[in-house]
Structure 1
Amino acid sequence: MSQILCITLLLIALFCHASDVEANEPVGILESRNLSHISLIDTDGDVINAQALLARKSITIIFIKQDCPVANGYIPTLNRMYEMVDRRRMNFAFVYPSQSITVAEAEAHCREYLIKVPVYIDKNLALAHAFDATVTPEAVVLDAAGAVRYRGRIDDRIVGYGKRRPAATRDDLAEAIADVLADHPVRVPETKAVGCIIPR
């Protein structure tokens, strides 16, 4: 009886372990992206290749609009993330997906909101299209190999347009960045971003 009991307990333990592993496996995106065909404009007005943003590092890209109250409301949070992240291993970029914004307008927006993150203009929305970004703010985290490891919201403060929680209960982007820098699977690789629609 004792031997049967031991075998039964061992089988239960193995089953539970297998279930835990399955639950922790990433279920979302893991797509490689080659950005070499996409051009962006920096705040000096120079055209750069989007692939250069990777520079053999992971990168967090956040799509923003200067007239989007949701995106502007997240700028202090994103500034703090940028200051705290290990920038030897992770680049950061704000990208304006807009055919109309000028370099002067982007610079004015940076001054008004004290933006510390490097900013770029996606004039023909090619980068937004490449990542299927639909709203601002929307974040994409790529690893050093150029694979998309996370796409979606900053956190869960915004429940719907005009609806928000007093405080976030999940810091999805911060968690994704931590997982990528630790070389772990991202626990929640895709979430729905809520904000201002990116015109197509």
Structure 2
Amino acid sequence: MLLETPVCDFGWQAPDFELKTPDGVAWTRDRVMGGNGMLIAFICNHCPYVIAVIDRLVADINAIKEAGVGVACVMSNDYAAYPADAPDKMLAFADTHGLTVPYLVDEDQSVARAYGAVCTPDLFGFDRAGGLQYRGRIDSAMMKDAANRVPELRNAMMSVAKGAGGPRVQTPSMGCSIKWR
């Protein structure tokens, strides 16, 4: 089911969390937070929208990390119903696509609920004070040819990293619904 994310609620505070990677390493909001902000990306392995953008997302994440923004990806789908999203498959997915940030399992889906995540990908970009500044799409290309894309997420988070905040006009992300239990 195709969904769009809601409009950015500027200044909304990032909820705390404690999640683990598939190999058991625990991460919290404060551990993810970088000196210039934080990006939480709700993704999964099987969504065609994520698959279409993952390599561009990884490149943008790498640039965002270099700007002092902490990044984590969160998988909140019911992987009993969608085995392609199971933790062991998350490790292979991250390795295949060069994802070097924590890819966290939201086992009870509480973090997705706390953040109000609705789809994959769903992107939450926060400033260094933990206030929401970006909730839009990865880029203008979406599932199309990316040759002339505008990297909206990267541009927004670079602005946030410089202390200038996110853009006032944002295009919602769209993707497959979170697979709730």
TM-score of the aligned structures, taking structure 1 as reference length: 0.72
Asked if 2 retains the 8 angstrom alpha-carbon contact of 1:30 and 1:148, the reply is yes
Asked if 1 retains the 8 angstrom alpha-carbon contact of 2:34 and 2:69, the reply is no
In the other structure, the counterpart of 1:199 is 179
Q: 5+ residue gaps in structure 2? A: 1-6, 80-84
What SS is found at the alignment partner of 1:35? coil
2:32 to 40, 53, 58: 53
Q: Which amino acid aligns with 1:172?
A: E
Distance 2:35 2:127 in 1: 9
In the comparison of the two structures, how many residue pairs are matched?
Answer: 168
CA spacing shift, 1:170–1:99, aligned 2, 3 Å: same
Q: CA deviation at 1:90?
A: 0.8
TM-score of the aligned structures, taking structure 2 as reference length: 0.78
CA spacing shift, 1:39–1:99, aligned 2, 3 Å: farther
Q: Which amino acid aligns with 1:139?
A: L
- Let me know the Cα RMSD of the aligned residues: 2.5
1:65 to 44, 50, 62: 44
Asked if 1 retains the 8 angstrom alpha-carbon contact of 2:14 and 2:115, the reply is no
1:77 to 49, 56, 59: 56
> What is the percent sequence identity of the aligned residues?
23
In the other structure, the counterpart of 2:95 is 111
Higher-Rg structure is 1
In the other structure, the counterpart of 1:151 is 135
Highest RCO, 1 vs 2 (Cα 8 Å, sep ≥ 6): 2
* 1:134 maps to 2:122: no
Richer in helix (by share): 1
After the TM superposition, which residues 155-194 of structure 1 pair with which residues of structure 2 at under 5 Å, given as runs?
Answer: 155-158=139-142, 164-167=143-146, 169-188=149-168, 190-194=170-174
In the other structure, the counterpart of 2:4 is none
What SS is found at the alignment partner of 1:80? helix
CA spacing shift, 1:79–1:189, aligned 2, 3 Å: same
Q: 5+ residue gaps in structure 1? A: 1-26, 159-163
CA spacing shift, 1:77–1:188, aligned 2, 3 Å: farther
Q: Which amino acid aligns with 2:90?
A: A
What SS is found at the alignment partner of 1:61? strand
CA spacing shift, 1:182–1:130, aligned 2, 3 Å: same
